[in-house]
Chains A and B, each alone.
Chain A
Amino acid sequence: MPESCEKRPSSMMPQLDVVKTPIPPCRRLRAFAFDPILSRQLETYEVNLVTIEVPWEDDVDYGPTDSYLEVVDYDPASQAFYAPVNLNEPKLLAQDGLPPSEGNPQFHQQMVYAVARKTIDHFEQALGRRALWSSRHTLVNGIYEEEYVERLRIYPHALREANAYYSSAKKALLFGYFPASSTKYSQDMPGETVFACLSHDIVAHETTHALIDGLHPRFMEPSNMDVLALHEALADVVALFQHFTYPGVLKNQIARTRGNLQDQSFLGELAFQFGQALGQYGALRSAIGDIDPQTKKWTAKLPDPGDILQANEPHDRGAIFVAAVFDAFLTIYKSRIQDLLRLATAGTGILNPGEISSDLVERLAEEAAKTSGHILNICIRALDYCPPVDTDFGDYLRALITADESLVTYDSQNYRLAIIDAFRRRGIYPHDVRNLSVESLLWHEPTEIEQKEFELLFHGPDGLQKLFPRWNRGSDPEKVFLQTRECRRTLHQWFMDPGALAAAEAAHLQMDKLDKNKTDAVYRDKDGLPELEVHSIRPARRIGPGGQTVTELVIEMTQRRRGYYDAEKQRKVESGELAPMEPDFVFRGGCTLLVDLETARVRYCIYKDLSSQNRIERMRKYLQSGSGPSLQATYLGDPGKEFSQFNGEQGLILEPIASLHRLRREEEM
Chain B
Amino acid sequence: MPAKEIIAPTATDTTLVPPAKGVAVRMYNTGFGDCFLLAFRSDTGEARYVLIDCGVHQKWTGGKERLMLVASDIAKATNNHLHVIAVTHEHTDHISGFLQGESSFGKMKIDNLWLAWTEDPSDPVAKQLKAQYGVKIRALNAAVSRLKLAGNPLGERLEGILDFEPGLESNQNSGQSPDHADENAALASTTSVSSGRNANALSAIRSWVDKKLERPEDYRRPGEAPFSLPGVKGVKCYVLGPPKDIESLKKLEGLNETYLSHAAIDGDMAFMAAASAATGAALSGDDDLFNRSNPFDKDLVIPENKAKGHPKFGSFFAKHYGFSRGEKMDQEWRWIESDWLEAAGQIALSINSMTNNTSLVLAFELTETNPPKVLLFAGDAQVGNWLSWQKLTWQQSVETGTAGAATDGAKGRVTGADLIARTVLYKVGHHGSRNATLREKGLEMMASIELVALIPVDEKWAKDVMGWDHPDEKLTARLMEMARGRVLRSDRIPESGSISKPMEATDKEWESFQKRLQWDAGPERLWIQYTVT
Measured CA separation A669–B382 after assembly (Å) = 13
Segment at the interface with A among B125-133, B188-196, B340-348: B340-348
Verify A74–B263 contact, CB threshold 8 A: no
Verify B349–A193 contact, CB threshold 8 A: no
Segment at the interface with A among B33-41, B270-278, B484-492: B270-278
- Judge whether B413 is part of the interface by a CB distance below 8 angstroms: no
- Judge whether B350 is part of the interface by a CB distance below 8 angstroms: yes
Beyond A62-B313, A160-B271, A669-B252, whether A634 also contacts B320 by CB under 8 A is: no
Beyond A179-B269, A190-B266, whether A637 also contacts B157 by CB under 8 A is: yes
Verify B339–A78 contact, CB threshold 8 A: no
For window 244-272 of chain B, which residues contact chain A by CB distance below 8 Å?
Answer: 251-254, 259, 262-267, 269-271
Which residues on A sit within 8 Å (CB–CB) of B353?
631
Verify A103–B297 contact, CB threshold 8 A: yes
Mask: chain A, 117-130; 1 = CB below 8 Å from B; 0 = not: 00000000000000
Interface-central residue, B305, B312, B349, B470, by most chain A CB under 10 Å: B349
In the assembled complex, the CB of B230 is this many whole angstroms from the nearest CB of chain A, namely 38
Verify A79–B153 contact, CB threshold 8 A: no
Which residues on B sit within 8 Å (CB–CB) of A191?
259, 262-266
Which residues on B sit within 8 Å (CB–CB) of A179?
264-267, 269-270, 293
- Judge whether B294 is part of the interface by a CB distance below 8 angstroms: yes
Q: How large is the interface on A (under 10, 10 to 19, 20 to 34, 35 or more residues)?
A: 35 or more
Q: How large is the interface on B (under 10, 10 to 19, 20 to 34, 35 or more residues)?
A: 35 or more
Nearest chain A residue, comparing its CB with the CB of B474: A625
Interface-central residue, A62, A76, A82, A176, by most chain B CB under 10 Å: A76
- Judge whether A157 is part of the interface by a CB distance below 8 angstroms: yes
In the assembled complex, the CB of A603 is this many whole angstroms from the nearest CB of chain B, namely 39
Nearest chain B residue, comparing its CB with the CB of A169: B333
In the assembled complex, the CB of A62 is this many whole angstroms from the nearest CB of chain B, namely 5
- Judge whether B468 is part of the interface by a CB distance below 8 angstroms: yes
Which residues on A sit within 8 Å (CB–CB) of B312?
83
Which residues on B sit within 8 Å (CB–CB) of A630?
435
Measured CA separation A161–B273 after assembly (Å) = 12
- Judge whether B295 is part of the interface by a CB distance below 8 angstroms: yes
For window 447-499 of chain B, which residues contact chain A by CB distance below 8 Å?
Answer: 467-470, 472-474
For window 600-630 of chain A, which residues contact chain B by CB distance below 8 Å?
Answer: 624-626, 629-630
Verify A172–B294 contact, CB threshold 8 A: no
Mask: chain B, 21-58; 1 = CB below 8 Å from A; 0 = not: 00000000000000000000000000000000000000
Which residues on A sit within 8 Å (CB–CB) of B473?
624-625
- Judge whether A171 is part of the interface by a CB distance below 8 angstroms: yes
Which residues on A sit within 8 Å (CB–CB) of B469?
626, 633-634, 638
Verify B271–A103 contact, CB threshold 8 A: no
Contact of A80 among B259, B304, B334, B337 (CB under 8 A): B304
Nearest chain A residue, comparing its CB with the CB of B253: A669
Beyond A82-B300, A153-B334, A633-B469, whether A669 also contacts B350 by CB under 8 A is: yes
Which residues on B sit within 8 Å (CB–CB) of A193?
270, 295
Verify A62–B340 contact, CB threshold 8 A: no
Which residues on B sit within 8 Å (CB–CB) of A521?
none
Measured CA separation A170–B333 after assembly (Å) = 6
Verify A161–B340 contact, CB threshold 8 A: yes
Measured CA separation A83–B472 after assembly (Å) = 50
- Judge whether A136 is part of the interface by a CB distance below 8 angstroms: yes
Verify A159–B339 contact, CB threshold 8 A: yes
Measured CA separation A63–B320 after assembly (Å) = 9
- Judge whether B434 is part of the interface by a CB distance below 8 angstroms: yes
Verify A636–B345 contact, CB threshold 8 A: yes
- Judge whether A635 is part of the interface by a CB distance below 8 angstroms: yes
For window 147-173 of chain A, which residues contact chain B by CB distance below 8 Å?
Answer: 153, 155, 157-161, 163, 167, 169-172
Contact of B157 among A79, A636, A666 (CB under 8 A): A636
For window 322-358 of chain B, which residues contact chain A by CB distance below 8 Å?
Answer: 333-337, 339-340, 342-343, 345-346, 349-350, 352-353
Verify B254–A666 contact, CB threshold 8 A: no
Beyond A62-B313, A103-B296, whether A80 also contacts B320 by CB under 8 A is: no
Contact of B254 among A75, A76, A181, A636 (CB under 8 A): A181
Beyond A193-B295, A637-B467, whether A632 also contacts B349 by CB under 8 A is: yes
A-B contact count (CB 8 A): 173
Measured CA separation A104–B317 after assembly (Å) = 19
- Judge whether A370 is part of the interface by a CB distance below 8 angstroms: no
- Judge whether A195 is part of the interface by a CB distance below 8 angstroms: yes
Which residues on A sit within 8 Å (CB–CB) of B251?
669
Measured CA separation A83–B321 after assembly (Å) = 13
Verify A172–B336 contact, CB threshold 8 A: yes
Measured CA separation A314–B352 after assembly (Å) = 25
Verify A105–B300 contact, CB threshold 8 A: yes
- Judge whether A178 is part of the interface by a CB distance below 8 angstroms: yes
- Judge whether A361 is part of the interface by a CB distance below 8 angstroms: no
- Judge whether A662 is part of the interface by a CB distance below 8 angstroms: yes
- Judge whether A556 is part of the interface by a CB distance below 8 angstroms: no
Which residues on B sit within 8 Å (CB–CB) of A72?
320-321
For window 269-315 of chain B, which residues contact chain A by CB distance below 8 Å?
Answer: 269-271, 274-275, 277-278, 293-297, 300-305, 307, 310, 312-313
- Judge whether B161 is part of the interface by a CB distance below 8 angstroms: yes
In the assembled complex, the CB of A86 is this many whole angstroms from the nearest CB of chain B, namely 10
In the assembled complex, the CB of B255 is this many whole angstroms from the nearest CB of chain A, namely 10
Verify A80–B302 contact, CB threshold 8 A: yes
In the assembled complex, the CB of B100 is this many whole angstroms from the nearest CB of chain A, namely 24
Verify B321–A74 contact, CB threshold 8 A: yes
- Judge whether B394 is part of the interface by a CB distance below 8 angstroms: no
Verify A80–B316 contact, CB threshold 8 A: no
Verify A160–B274 contact, CB threshold 8 A: yes
- Judge whether A70 is part of the interface by a CB distance below 8 angstroms: yes
In the assembled complex, the CB of A65 is this many whole angstroms from the nearest CB of chain B, namely 7
Beyond A171-B334, A634-B435, whether A666 also contacts B349 by CB under 8 A is: yes
- Judge whether A658 is part of the interface by a CB distance below 8 angstroms: yes
Nearest chain B residue, comparing its CB with the CB of A194: B295
- Judge whether A567 is part of the interface by a CB distance below 8 angstroms: no
For window 200-243 of chain A, which residues contact chain B by CB distance below 8 Å?
Answer: none
Verify A181–B267 contact, CB threshold 8 A: yes
In the assembled complex, the CB of A162 is this many whole angstroms from the nearest CB of chain B, namely 9
In the assembled complex, the CB of A69 is this many whole angstroms from the nearest CB of chain B, namely 12
Measured CA separation A652–B312 after assembly (Å) = 39
Which residues on A sit within 8 Å (CB–CB) of B333?
136, 169-170
Verify A631–B349 contact, CB threshold 8 A: yes
Contact of B343 among A160, A171, A629, A631 (CB under 8 A): A160
For window 246-301 of chain A, which residues contact chain B by CB distance below 8 Å?
Answer: none
Contact of A83 among B302, B334, B336, B346 (CB under 8 A): B302
Nearest chain B residue, comparing its CB with the CB of A155: B336
Measured CA separation A176–B343 after assembly (Å) = 10
Nearest chain A residue, comparing its CB with the CB of B433: A634
- Judge whether A84 is part of the interface by a CB distance below 8 angstroms: yes
- A/B interface sample: 29 pairs, CB < 8 A: A62-B313, A62-B316, A63-B320, A77-B274, A77-B278, A78-B294, A78-B301, A79-B277, A80-B304, A82-B296, A82-B302, A83-B302, A104-B300, A136-B333, A155-B336, A159-B340, A160-B270, A160-B274, A161-B271, A170-B333, A170-B334, A176-B343, A179-B264, A181-B254, A191-B263, A629-B434, A632-B346, A669-B251, A669-B253
Add 18 more A-B contacts to A83-B312, A167-B339, A179-B264 (CB < 8 A).
Answer: A70-B320, A76-B339, A77-B340, A79-B277, A81-B301, A81-B307, A160-B340, A177-B295, A179-B269, A191-B262, A191-B265, A630-B435, A633-B469, A634-B435, A634-B470, A635-B161, A635-B352, A636-B349
Lowest 3 CB-CB distances: which A-B pairs, in order? A191-B264, A77-B274, A161-B343
